[in-house]
Structure formats: C-alpha cells, structure tokens
Amino acid sequence: MTKKQVNIAIVDDDLLFNELLSSFLKEHESLEIVHTAPGGKPFLNWLETSGKKVDLVLLDLRMPEGDGIETLHHLYSTFPEIKVVVLSTFYRKSFMGQMLQLGADAFLSKEVSQQELLKVIYGLVENGHYFSQEQVETLRSQVASKIPQWQIHQKDGLSDREIEVLKLYCQQLNTQEIAKRLFLSVKTVESHRSNLYQKTGTRNVAGLVIYAFQNQLIDPEEIVLVYW
C-alpha cells in the first residue's frame, strides 16, 4: 500500500460517525485527517479559505448545511483534482452510474467494512481510480445492451493513441504503468489524459470508464479489478 501521505476531509452531519471514522483512519500513518465538517457549505468555505491541501473527501449525501450533491457539483467544477468518495446511508446500487457521472470517484454504503474502505482509499491514491466487484457489475447492468455505434466526429474524435490510453486506464493501470507499457513519458500520457477529459466531458477516470462503456470502446469484461 501507498507510503504517500493522504490528506483526508470528512464531511458528514453525524458528529459521532465523524469521530469514529477519524479515529480509525488516524491509526494508519499514511492517512491524515485535515478537517471534518457537518455539511457541504462549511466545508467548502473552509476549503476555499484555509489554503490546506486535500487529496480525498469522504462525503455524505443528506446534510442540512449543504447536501452532498451540491458539494459534489462544486468540487467537480472548482477542485477537480480532489478525489471524492460518497459515503452514505442512502446508498443504492441503481445510483452507482449516476454518482460516478456526477463526479464521485466511488460510491459506498456507510455499512462498508473498514478494510473495504481502506481498499477504496488506497486504490484511488495508487491508481487514480478504484472499482469494486459490485461497481463493475452495476456498471455492466446499467450500460444498455443496444447502444448506437459510436461515431467519430472530426471536431471531438479521439485519436488511436487516446483510445489506447483510455483502454489501459479502464484496465486499472496508473499513469506511470501506461507510460511504461506504451514506451511514452509520463508527461505525454498525462497530456493524453487531459485531452480525453476535454473531449469526453469527464473529470476523472471513473467518468472515462463510463464513457468507454457507453460508446462501446471497451468490452465490460476487459475491465480489471484491483485486489490488495
């Protein structure tokens, strides 16, 4: 698992849950809790004024001081580099694709085990994305069986190399691994990833995977799961 320090913020109006989750995560040397907030509005105010670096947010959905959807939208547009794990009692598998499309990097029930939560956190840090077996199966079920064949348009079409990079991200390779596989520099792969985000209208690798599924650029069976 990663040795890199991960700065985490917890946004939830259940103060006892915040305290217990913080205590658990603090047991791991590489995880640092930099802030807890009872709602999206106080968290965003703190984020915009504190100057503190946040790598990952554990975000509830229903909160009186700024709900999770509003907060997710703001993070999507203003802080796209921050990973967001939606952690809620209102978890429904049928909402999985929608949550990922809205910008969440993972969507979990509050009943998730401690070890599974760590898998998600470390998976996001190591690879920039993480898909559990449940997420993959849900994405497969939510992709229509009969989707019109994707057509490349001159203005926003993906190049062969961009599609190649996209497929490797779908197989859970990180940027360094893709660079090595394709004999490219890391900077070049990052440039291809930026182009993919711009052309597909996505903000993270989870969104790219959904895009690849919906446009039949990858067979769902090709996606590779990461186990720790």
* Predicted confidence (pLDDT) at residue 141 exceeds the cutoff of 80: no
Describe the crossing of helices 40-50 and 68-78 by its angle, rounded to 10 degrees: 30
CATH class (in words) of the domain with range 143-222: alpha beta
**CA nearest to 206, candidates 101, 80, 63, 62:** 101
Give per-residue pLDDT as tens, 13-59: 999 999 999 999 999 989 999 999 999 999 999 999 998 999 999 99
Mind listing the pLDDT tens digit for each residue in 58-80? 999 889 888 888 898 889 888 98
- pLDDT for 94: 65
Contacts of 65 (CB under 8 A, 6+ apart): 13, 38, 39, 40, 41, 42
Higher pLDDT residue, 100 or 72?
A: 72
Position 147 scores a pLDDT of 43
> What top-level class would CATH report for the domain 6-130?
alpha beta
pLDDT digit string, tens, across residues 148-176: 444 444 335 788 899 889 988 887 788 88
Q: State the span(s) of the chain assigned CATH 3.40.50.2300.
A: 6-130, 143-222
Q: Is the pTM higher than 0.75?
A: no
In tens, the pLDDT along 178-195 reads 999 999 898 999 899 988
- Which residues have a Cβ under 8 Å from the Cβ of 41 and sit 6 or more positions away? 65, 66
- Measuring CA to CA, which residue among 107, 134, 208 is closest to residue 167? 208
Find the distance separating the first CA and the last CA of the chain, reported in whole Å: 8
- Summarize the confidence of residues 124-146 as an average pLDDT: 67
Is residue 76 a contact partner of residue 53, using CB atoms and an 8 Å limit?
Answer: no
